[in-house]
Structure 1
Amino acid sequence: MRNPERRTALVDAAIEVLARDGARGLTFRAVDTEAAVPNGTASNYFANRDDLLNQVGAHIHLRLAVDPSKVATTSELPSSRERLTELMQALFQHISGDRTGWLALVELRMEATRRPELRAALTSTLRDNLNLNVEGHRASGLPGDDMTTVLLYYAMTGLILEHLTVPDALTGYDENDLIATFVTRALAH
């Protein structure tokens, strides 16, 4: 049986390659080099490049997910607009801390426009992620409804994309102020 830790290390190496070199640079040899394993290792773990891309797509959200135990201790604020704002700001900081993971996700999204199987897998993963966010928001007791969660999800996605790809486009705007405004306006819908 293949080593699951090595598989995860190879997928993480593929994420690094995707972020740095784009989808065209993602080869088994590049993954082996990034993971510092012997040539041919990645090809022993993944049937083909599509398999590797699909596994990256399935794993990347685990890598980008915020650990709930860390977020839960960031404040003593009650379930309020302020608490929701703080949680969105913590999410922004967390994802900003893994620029490579987010850039790899952007590359996967672009590659999914050319690969129907990857598009189907990534669509399922992204839909599941959104649904988990909606369900988590419902269970949290925080203000707002399902649409609040969807609006914040896509507002945050856009803000993170700008911040991690062309941060100078945000010159003159404070990200925390933008997030507070997102929350206020999403709750007012």
Structure 2
Amino acid sequence: MVRRNEQRRAALVDAAIEVLARDGARGLTFRAVDAEAAVPAGTASNYFANRDELLTQAGARVYERLQPDEATLARQRTAGRDLETYTELMRELVGRVASFRTGYLAFLELRLEATRRPALRTVLTERVRADMDANVAYHEASGLPGDAMAVRLLMLTLNWLIVEQLTLPDLLSQEERDQLVAAAVERIVGAGEDRGGPAPAS
């Protein structure tokens, strides 16, 4: 029974993500979530104490679903350690995140809502910071070129590229996006290496 409840809760949070992406934070109601999840009216209110709890759990769920699968991680572990490989990894990252369109749009809605809800802002700040720290730690252990500052700059740069792709898809072609990813890696990571930045781990 507990397992079934966990599955139902996850389905409701996934439905909340879809509602956020489609209707925005103001459209996120228990009734809308019930309808999206195709469950009886009143189901969501049995699982979540209030709308704030639903919002914060939606934010956490987006991050869960954006994590790379084991096959992707295994491929990354065996990849090369040069700038060209780094560029391909970043292109893959942009593509993977952008492919979860509703999740990323829902997360943008949550970030806007966080400007009005201190509790949500606290949760998102902690989650985004943990994600940034995890990316830096993974990078430093991987032996890829560049330092922690380069990782953070790339994250910020590529996040906005993803925003452009999802909100104004006709602004840039796929070729232009690929070129921008390559330029970001070269100028942020490569420039640091040229200045005598940290050498890749052996």
State TM-score, norm by structure 1.
0.94
CA distance in 2, matches of 1:87, 1:173: 16
Check the 8 A contact 1:96/1:164 in 2, yes or no: yes
Query: 29, 36, 39: which one pairs with 1:37?
Result: 39
CA distance in 2, matches of 1:65, 1:41: 28
Gaps of 5+ in 2: 193-202
Per-residue deviation, 1:72? 3.5
Per-residue deviation, 1:73? 2.4
CA distance in 2, matches of 1:126, 1:75: 24
CA distance in 1, matches of 2:85, 2:175: 21
Flag the 1:57–1:185 CA change in 2: closer, same or farther, 3 A.
same
Which residue number in structure 1 is paired with residue 9 of structure 2? 7
Q: Once structures 1 and 2 are overlaid, which stretch shifts more, 20-29 or 174-183?
A: 174-183
Flag the 1:75–1:136 CA change in 2: closer, same or farther, 3 A.
closer
Structure of greater Rg: 2
Q: Give the secondary-structure state (helix, strand or coil) at the position aligned to 1:170.
A: coil
CA distance in 1, matches of 2:152, 2:103: 22
Which residue number in structure 2 is paired with residue 164 of structure 1? 166
- Say whether 1:130 aligns with 2:132: yes
Which consecutive aligned stretches of 4+ in structure 1 deviate over 3 angstroms post-superposition?
74-77
Per-residue deviation, 1:169? 2.6
- Say whether 1:141 aligns with 2:143: yes
Which residue number in structure 2 is paired with residue 155 of structure 1? 157
State TM-score, norm by structure 2.
0.88
- Say whether 1:110 aligns with 2:112: yes
Q: CA RMSD in A?
A: 1.7
Identical positions, percent: 55
CA distance in 1, matches of 2:19, 2:67: 20
Per-residue deviation, 1:70? 1.7
- Number of aligned positions between the proteins: 189
- Say whether 1:91 aligns with 2:93: yes
Deviations 1:121-168 (A, max 9, x none): 011111111111101101111111101100110011010000000122
Per-residue deviation, 1:11? 0.5
